[in-house]
């Protein structure tokens, strides 16, 4: 039987060619499968001839629609005698008319799969048998399918040829490539797959070696100080380490350009550790972990109880006897600050560990303390999919929210280890012995926290902070606060952690608490508001300190407290209005307890007593989100109803927060259209903010009352208040700053300070 030809149907008439040979015309399917073998103008297909007239009839009759009622009943092709015998029994071949074909074509476009009822109706209209209509539609569907497949095959073949040509071109280019160093041939294409796997295997082995070295270092008795001080050349290009557009997200990646900051700081000159340093770093981290755990658990005589009965004071002589190994003796002129504090926080131990080991999360949670931080190199990522054994080299800058207190820069290693089920520890220890520098003002001895799992998602955290610091640059106004431990000590770290855990628990609430009120009607809007407020507070905290990335200029001759100003350019920052921003800050002492100052500044009813920009208008709270146990921990949306009918009302986003060691009231005017997007759950990152506000610290003369209402609610203790404003003085970033703008901001902050002093002095009488 000819290849590609079907067996002729029983009722199909043969076609006789000119030369007398028989051409068999079978079912339409036979034509479909065999048409590729048929030659134009007549010819033979493996012994079977077709004439030109036969081809004409096939084209006229639409060869794919020529099925008859009995065309499905096929039989074997016999000999010539058999064909002559069967010829009288064959029915005459019925071809569809042009009108029938057109109507079935039109119906096919609307419905390629007609049911029995539709086929019967169509056959009645066309004068055909239902079975003929059925076979025509079957053959038409087969034809369309084959047409599409042929078209797809053509496209794929073309694409394949194109890819093959590209592949050959790339192979030729790689074959002719030369090494830029030696000028010899390269073999990139052949080596890439194997090289990739070798790199993965090398990284895995390196981590394994680091873990084994850390374990072995426990049993090495040689003190770290016996190693020679290793000094490597400083990085030729300083690390871009900053707070991100001055007070933006503390992501650890510097975004500040040289035109923003005039100072060159220590952290920009620190590079990642060398290979020779890593064994020393591992041994130092393991020893620091042992020291931290013991300092968190030991009592007297290592820790002595202070006169107030609640504060633990380190016995330095006992410390030297207990821990002879370490980072060396205390540098000349440095003072020792050591403190320990414990709290139960609403966060599970695994989440706490992840937060501490992620530099971005750590900087965000402690934005009031950490002005910027960066991970230089990860020496170990841990084992078994968690942070047990994780080791990373970092830099950080710690701050007090005031330009009068120098920041503390550190270059250290952070090590995390699991101590039994549900108990973890994270320790920091300085690496200054590896990078000696005369500019060093702070050195961290083993400091960190011991975390113990507790029921219901809580954790018990014991924080140890032990530093040696040159604090001679601290302004006399803040000396007592720094020495008391409220500025950088363990109590401030643990109080901040406790408050931020409450805030995070509030943000993760699945329903709107009953205490929340106002225009917030859905959970998405609530989360967006909290996220926007978090960015606002981070921006404020990052821009009010004496960070080395800030260039403060003191304005003299004001007749009031010194006001420090700083300018920066805001360009291509969706979270800030473009132009020149003038920041002004001043710090001063008030003979009023911090709790009273905090309540006065956060209360919308007393806002018109100090806020000059509200112009005496009535302030109304439009939305309220509680995010802590203390009623002062909340986010509010305020509307200032202007007393002047010709002026439009103003919306202000405000967050107030308080704990034992510090309180903040931060606010920023917001656009009405933008805040409506946020209230509906939109992205808050594109809302332009210029935050201003207040940082309230105790003056260090009294101790905490131990409650949740902040520090020194009663007694003789005073407050250290920092006032900071950010004002857009020109919308063109390239414009020059005028002296008139500086004078305006200076007068604004001076008037605000005088109003606060006057109002609080009246209350205090």
Q: How many domains does the chain have?
A: 3
Contact 401, 545 (CB under 8 A): yes
| pLDDT computed for residue 219 by the predictor | 44
Whether 598 maps to a domain, the answer reads yes
Contact 724, 692 (CB under 8 A): yes
Environment class of residue 7 by beta-carbon count within 10 Å: exposed (0-12), middle (13-18) or buried (19+)?
A: middle
With 90 as the cut, is the pLDDT of residue 449 above it?
yes
For residue 330, what are its two tokens?
């205390």
Whether 519 maps to a domain, the answer reads yes
- How many secondary structure helices (H) and strands (E) does the chain include? 17, 24
For residue 350, what pLDDT band results from cuts at 50, 70 and 90?
Answer: very high
Against a cut of 0.75, is the pTM above it? no
Which of these ranges, 151-160, 189-198, 671-680, has the smallest mean pLDDT? 189-198
With 80 as the cut, is the pLDDT of residue 637 above it?
yes
Residue for token pair 């900051």 = 261
Show Cβ contacts of residue 331 under 8 Å, excluding neighbours closer than 6 positions: 440, 443, 468, 470
Backbone angles phi, psi at 740, to 5 degrees: -65, -40
| pLDDT computed for residue 713 by the predictor | 40
| pLDDT computed for residue 501 by the predictor | 93
Highest mean pLDDT among 172-176, 259-263, 461-465: 461-465
**What's the CA gap between 214 and 347, in Å, rounded?**
29
| pLDDT computed for residue 499 by the predictor | 93
- Say which residue, 61 or 307, is predicted with more confidence: 307
Contact 759, 606 (CB under 8 A): yes
Cα atoms found within 13 Å of the Cα of residue 451, Cβ hemisphere only: 27
Contact 382, 559 (CB under 8 A): no
* Whole-number average pLDDT of the chain: 74
**Cβ neighbours, 10 Å, residue 358:** 15
Residues 616 and 689 in one domain: yes
For residue 288, what pLDDT band results from cuts at 50, 70 and 90?
Answer: very high
| pLDDT computed for residue 730 by the predictor | 80
For residue 213, what pLDDT band results from cuts at 50, 70 and 90?
Answer: low
Q: Identify the domain containing residue 728 by its residue range.
A: 515-701+716-763
For residue 251, what pLDDT band results from cuts at 50, 70 and 90?
Answer: very low
With 80 as the cut, is the pLDDT of residue 533 above it?
yes
Residues 532 and 623 in one domain: yes
Whether 87 maps to a domain, the answer reads no
For residue 355, what are its two tokens?
């937060």
The terminus-to-terminus CA distance of the chain in angstroms comes to 118
With 90 as the cut, is the pLDDT of residue 658 above it?
yes
Q: What are the angstrom distances between the C-alpha of 362 and each of 150, 494, 549, 659, 750?
A: 61, 13, 20, 18, 35
| pLDDT computed for residue 375 by the predictor | 92
Show Cβ contacts of residue 207 under 8 Å, excluding neighbours closer than 6 positions: 380, 381
Query: Average of pLDDT values for 396-408?
Result: 90
- 748-759 per-position pLDDT tens digit: 888 899 999 998
Query: Average of pLDDT values for 277-291?
Result: 89
Whether 18 maps to a domain, the answer reads no
Q: Is 58 helix (H, G, I), strand (E, B) or coil?
A: helix
Q: Is 590 helix (H, G, I), strand (E, B) or coil?
A: strand
| pLDDT computed for residue 697 by the predictor | 93
Query: Average of pLDDT values for 434-451?
Result: 82
Residues 390 and 427 in one domain: yes
With 60 as the cut, is the pLDDT of residue 15 above it?
no
Query: Average of pLDDT values for 230-239?
Result: 29
Show Cβ contacts of residue 513 under 8 Å, excluding neighbours closer than 6 positions: 506, 626
For residue 146, what are its two tokens?
């084959």
- 515-531 per-position pLDDT tens digit: 566 667 778 888 889 99
DSSP 74: B
Environment class of residue 99 by beta-carbon count within 10 Å: exposed (0-12), middle (13-18) or buried (19+)?
A: exposed
Residue for token pair 């497949």 = 149
Give the domain-ending residue among 507, 532, 566: 507
Residues 440 and 327 in one domain: yes
| pLDDT computed for residue 52 by the predictor | 42
Indicate which CATH number applies to the domain containing 392: 3.30.530.20
With 70 as the cut, is the pLDDT of residue 651 above it?
yes
| pLDDT computed for residue 460 by the predictor | 95
Environment class of residue 403 by beta-carbon count within 10 Å: exposed (0-12), middle (13-18) or buried (19+)?
A: buried
With 50 as the cut, is the pLDDT of residue 246 above it?
no
Whether 739 maps to a domain, the answer reads yes
Instruction: Give the strand pairing for 423-430 and 447-453.
Output: antiparallel
**What's the CA gap between 650 and 612, in Å, rounded?**
13
Residues 477 and 532 in one domain: no
Q: Please, which residues bridge with residue 462 across strands?
A: 342, 450
DSSP 171-185: HHHHHT-B-TTT--B
Which of these ranges, 297-311, 577-591, 654-668, 688-702, has the smallest mean pLDDT? 297-311
Backbone angles phi, psi at 503, to 5 degrees: -65, -40
Give the domain-ending residue among 453, 477, 507: 507
Backbone angles phi, psi at 541, to 5 degrees: -65, -35
**What's the CA gap between 635 and 627, in Å, rounded?**
8
Contact 290, 417 (CB under 8 A): no
For residue 597, what are its two tokens?
């100052």
With 70 as the cut, is the pLDDT of residue 96 above it?
yes
Whether 679 maps to a domain, the answer reads yes
Residues 354 and 312 in one domain: yes
- 541-570 per-position pLDDT tens digit: 888 887 766 666 766 544 346 788 888 777
Whether 726 maps to a domain, the answer reads yes
| pLDDT computed for residue 347 by the predictor | 92
Query: Average of pLDDT values for 417-441?
Result: 84
Contact 379, 210 (CB under 8 A): yes
Contact 663, 710 (CB under 8 A): yes
DSSP 1-32: --TT-PPPBTTPPPEE-TTS-EE----HHHHH
**What's the CA gap between 11 and 67, in Å, rounded?**
10
Residues 406 and 463 in one domain: yes
With 80 as the cut, is the pLDDT of residue 583 above it?
yes
- 116-161 per-position pLDDT tens digit: 888 888 888 888 888 888 888 999 999 998 998 999 899 899 888 8
Residues 432 and 451 in one domain: yes
Query: Average of pLDDT values for 594-615?
Result: 88
With 80 as the cut, is the pLDDT of residue 9 above it?
no
With 50 as the cut, is the pLDDT of residue 264 above it?
no
| pLDDT computed for residue 5 by the predictor | 40
| pLDDT computed for residue 192 by the predictor | 53
- 180-193 per-position pLDDT tens digit: 555 555 544 444 55
Q: Please, which residues bridge with residue 691 across strands?
A: none
Residues 558 and 448 in one domain: no
Indicate which CATH number applies to the domain containing 129: 1.10.10.60
| pLDDT computed for residue 756 by the predictor | 92
What is the sign, positive or negative, of the torsion defined by CA atoms of 131, 136, 137, 138?
Answer: positive
**What's the CA gap between 619 and 603, in Å, rounded?**
10
Give the domain-ending residue among 462, 479, 507: 507
Whether 583 maps to a domain, the answer reads yes
Residues 493 and 540 in one domain: no
Q: What are the angstrom distances between the C-alpha of 186 and each of 156, 180, 193?
A: 33, 10, 15
With 90 as the cut, is the pLDDT of residue 357 above it?
yes
**What's the CA gap between 146 and 508, in Å, rounded?**
57
For residue 496, what pLDDT band results from cuts at 50, 70 and 90?
Answer: very high
Give the whole-number percent of the chain exceeding pLDDT 70.
69
Per the rule left: phi > 0, alpha: psi between -120 and 50, beta: everything else, 736 is: beta
- Say which residue, 42 or 300, is predicted with more confidence: 300
Show Cβ contacts of residue 317 under 8 Å, excluding neighbours closer than 6 positions: none
Residues 470 and 549 in one domain: no
Residues 478 and 539 in one domain: no
For residue 432, what pLDDT band results from cuts at 50, 70 and 90?
Answer: confident
| pLDDT computed for residue 34 by the predictor | 35
């Amino acid at each position: 039987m000819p290849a590609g030809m079907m067996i002729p149907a029983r009722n199909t008439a043969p076609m006789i060619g000119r030369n007398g040979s028989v051409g068999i015309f079978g079912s339409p399917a036979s034509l479909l499968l065999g048409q590729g073998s048929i030659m134009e103008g007549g010819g033979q297909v493996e012994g079977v001839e077709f004439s030109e007239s036969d081809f004409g009839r096939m084209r006229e009759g639409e060869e794919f629609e020529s099925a008859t009622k009995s065309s499905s009943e096929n039989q074997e092709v016999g000999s010539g005698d058999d064909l002559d015998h069967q010829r009288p029994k064959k029915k005459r071949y019925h071809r569809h008319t042009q009108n029938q074909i057109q109507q079935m074509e039109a119906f096919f476009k609307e419905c390629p799969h007609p049911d029995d009822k539709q086929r019967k109706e169509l056959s009645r209209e066309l004068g055909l048998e239902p079975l003929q209509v059925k076979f025509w539609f079957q053959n038409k569907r087969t034809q369309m399918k084959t047409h599409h497949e042929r078209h797809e095959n053509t496209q794929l073949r073309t694409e394949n040829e194109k890819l093959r040509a590209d592949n050959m071109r790339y192979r030729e280019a790689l074959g002719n490539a030369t090494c830029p160093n030696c000028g010899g041939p390269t073999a990139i294409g052949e080596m890439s797959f194997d090289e990739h796997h070798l790199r993965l295997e090398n990284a895995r082995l390196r981590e394994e070696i680091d873990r084994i070295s850390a374990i072995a270092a426990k049993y090495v008795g040689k003190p770290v100080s016996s190693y020679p001080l290793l000094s490597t050349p400083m990085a030729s290009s300083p690390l871009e380490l900053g707070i991100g557009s001055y007070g933006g997200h503390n992501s650890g990646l510097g975004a500040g350009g040289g035109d923003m900051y005039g100072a060159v700081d220590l952290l920009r000159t620190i590079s990642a550790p060398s290979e020779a340093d890593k064994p020393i770093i591992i041994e130092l981290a393991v020893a620091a972990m042992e020291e931290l755990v013991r300092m968190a658990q030991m009592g007297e005589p290592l820790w002595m109880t202070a006169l107030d009965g609640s504060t633990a004071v380190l016995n330095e002589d006992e410390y030297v006897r207990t821990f002879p190994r370490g980072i060396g003796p205390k540098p000349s002129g440095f003072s020792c600050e050591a403190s320990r504090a414990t709290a139960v926080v609403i966060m599970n131990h695994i989440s706490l560990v992840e937060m501490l080991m992620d530099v971005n999360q750590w900087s965000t949670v402690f934005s009031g303390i950490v002005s910027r931080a960066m991970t230089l190199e990860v020496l170990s990522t841990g084992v078994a999919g968690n942070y047990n054994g994780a080791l990373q080299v970092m830099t950080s800058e710690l701050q007090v929210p005031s330009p009068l207190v120098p920041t503390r820069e550190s270059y250290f290693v952070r090590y995390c280890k699991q101590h039994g089920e549900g108990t973890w520890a994270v320790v920091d220890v300085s690496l200054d012995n590896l990078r000696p520098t005369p500019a060093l003002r702070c050195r961290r001895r083993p400091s960190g926290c011991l975390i113990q799992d507790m029921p219901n998602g809580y954790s018990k955290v014991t924080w140890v902070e032990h530093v040696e610091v040159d604090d001679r640059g601290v302004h006399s106004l803040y000396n007592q606060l720094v020495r008391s431990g409220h500025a950088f000590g363990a109590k401030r770290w643990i109080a901040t952690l406790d408050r931020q855990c409450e805030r995070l628990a509030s943000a993760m609430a699945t329903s709107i608490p009953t205490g929340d009120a106002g225009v917030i009607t859905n959970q998405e809007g609530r989360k967006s508001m909290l996220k926007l407020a978090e960015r606002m507070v981070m921006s404020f905290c990052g821009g009010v300190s004496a960070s080395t990335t800030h260039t403060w200029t003191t304005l003299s001759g004001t007749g009031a407290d010194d006001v420090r100003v700083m300018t920066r350019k805001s360009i291509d920052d969706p979270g800030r209005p473009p132009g020149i921003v003038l920041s002004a800050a001043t710090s001063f002492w008030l003979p009023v307890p911090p709790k009273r100052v905090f309540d006065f500044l956060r209360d919308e009813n007393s806002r018109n007593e100090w806020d000059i920009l509200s112009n005496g208008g009535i302030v109304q709270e439009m939305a309220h989100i509680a995010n802590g146990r203390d009623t002062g921990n909340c986010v509010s949306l305020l509307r200032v109803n202007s007393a002047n009918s010709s002026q439009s009302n103003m919306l202000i986003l405000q967050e107030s927060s308080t704990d034992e060691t510090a309180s903040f009231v931060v606010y920023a005017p917001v656009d009405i259209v933008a805040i409506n997007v946020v209230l509906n759950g939109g992205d808050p990152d594109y809302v332009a903010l210029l935050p201003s506000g207040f940082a309230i610290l105790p003056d260090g003369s009294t101790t905490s009352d131990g409650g949740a209402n902040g520090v020194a609610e009663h007694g003789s203790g005073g407050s250290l208040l920092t006032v900071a404003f950010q004002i857009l003085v020109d919308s063109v970033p390239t414009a020059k700053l005028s002296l008139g703008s500086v004078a305006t901001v200076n007068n604004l902050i001076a008037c605000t300070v005088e109003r606060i002093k006057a109002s609080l002095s009246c209350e205090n009488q």
